[in-house]
Amino acid sequence: MKTSARNHFSGEVTEIKSGAVNDEITLRVDGTTIVAVVTQESTKTLGLAVGAKASALIKASSVIVMLDSDPSKISTRNVLSGTVADVKTGAVNTEVTISAGSLQIAAIITNDSATRLGLAKGSPASAVFKASSVIIAVD
């Protein structure tokens, strides 16, 4: 599967919480949990069930970079903490890659934000993204 999303993680559905309109899908990816919110119709159409293989796609522009994040003090479901693996500065934006366990997650942030945060290779950082920013895909 080819997509324009910079972040593509394959895993297994470990939990589905059904709601009136949306379902919360939990994927286990290399020991890390990623939570997505999709419509019930999408859950059915994709054939999602506990134990099913699925992928989480997250656009780099949907990833927020935080320092000193405490997952209990933020409403975002997905907080992947680790270290900065790479920083590529462009004319307007900077691409930051965070290594969180075995996952590498890319974020696109403004150059001003990268400078203000003092992001450098090896520094601690977290990739933060909402469950509603995760697209679930199946083969």
The confidence score (pLDDT) of residue 72 equals: 83
The model's pTM = 0.93
Q: How many domains does the chain fold into?
A: 1
The confidence score (pLDDT) of residue 69 equals: 72
CATH number at residue 115: 2.40.50.100
List, in sequence order, the alpha helices (H) in the chain.
40-46, 111-117
Across the chain, mean pLDDT equals 95
| Interatomic CA distance for residues 133 and 56, integer angstroms | 10
Is position 121 within any domain? yes
The confidence score (pLDDT) of residue 107 equals: 98
The confidence score (pLDDT) of residue 32 equals: 95
Is position 46 within any domain? yes
Residues spanned by the domain of 27: 7-137
Please say if the pLDDT value at position 2 is more than 90. no
Please say if the pLDDT value at position 1 is more than 90. no
Is position 1 within any domain? no
